[in-house]
Homo-oligomer: A and B are copies of this chain.
Amino acid sequence: MKKTIFVIDDEKDIREILKINLISEGYDVTAFSSAAEAKKGFESEKPDLIILDVMMEDKDGFEFCREIRSSEKLKSIPVIFLSAKSEEFDKVLGLELGGDDYLTKPFSIKELRSRIKAVLRRSGELPEDKKIILKYKGVELNPEQFSLKVDGEEIKLTKTELNMLSLFMENPGKVFTRDNIINSVRGHDVFVVDRTIDVHIMNLRKKLGDYKNIITTFSGVGYGFKE
């Protein structure tokens, strides 16, 4: 089933741009121009992700995210906050309304796409057409099933291992620092020590068997996937 995203923003242009782009990404998108409108939407449907402009005309963006956070039914839905000014996020943080990610306008669609992917990945969801199998030689990653096939043999991955390996395989050649990895795999407000990443890398390599070298170490920098 397609993943559903609610977009809540009072600027029509933004709504349109997001809608067009996200639909083409394989998401099911519903856009609302105000918090009040969105509330109605929640009555009939529960989205997999909310993209919310915190600073809308009538200032109800803040109020709205507080509501989301306190609603038993909705609080598990990941939220990506949009805002024109980065200071506004401070307020969000200060009010402990913390979301799963933050983006400052103007943002690139590409940036948003990868944030969405990261957020959904963390919550265990993946968009319909992204359930593709990532392949490299004898390594097959099937994000949907949380499984990895190495030379045909099925191997179980934990959630973080899967997220990490997906991150790497989706961005071949790119080098990630440990901080990058923590942010994109575990979220922005998690406190973990760098060495933790090394341990996950090690576990992953162990599971990759003969292909353990597809994860390359860049001493003093981080890790990456190299074909």
Contacts and interface: CB of A to CB of B under 8 A. Distances in A.
A93 B96 contact: no
A219 B96 contact: no
A94 interface: yes
Interface in A77-99: 87-99
A27 interface: no
A118 interface: yes
A98 B96 CA distance: 12
A144 B175 contact: yes
A131 to B, nearest CB: 10
Contacts of A108: 128
Interface residues of A, number: 55
Copies in the complex: 2
A158 B221 CA distance: 9
A62 to B, nearest CB: 11
Contact of A174 (B93, B96, B101, B145): B145
Interface of A: 69, 87-102, 108, 110-111, 114-115, 117-118, 120-122, 124-126, 128-129, 144-147, 158-159, 173-175, 177, 179-180, 182-183, 188-191, 218-221, 224
B121 A183 contact: yes
B175 A146 contact: yes
Given A91-B93, A120-B179, 17 more contacts: A87-B98, A90-B99, A91-B98, A93-B98, A93-B100, A93-B101, A108-B128, A114-B191, A117-B191, A121-B179, A124-B177, A129-B174, A145-B173, A145-B175, A146-B221, A158-B220, A159-B221
B94 A102 contact: yes
A27 B191 CA distance: 18
A158 B219 contact: yes
A122 B115 CA distance: 13
Contacts of A221: 146, 159
Contacts of A88: 98
Contacts of A100: 90, 93
Nearest to A124: B179
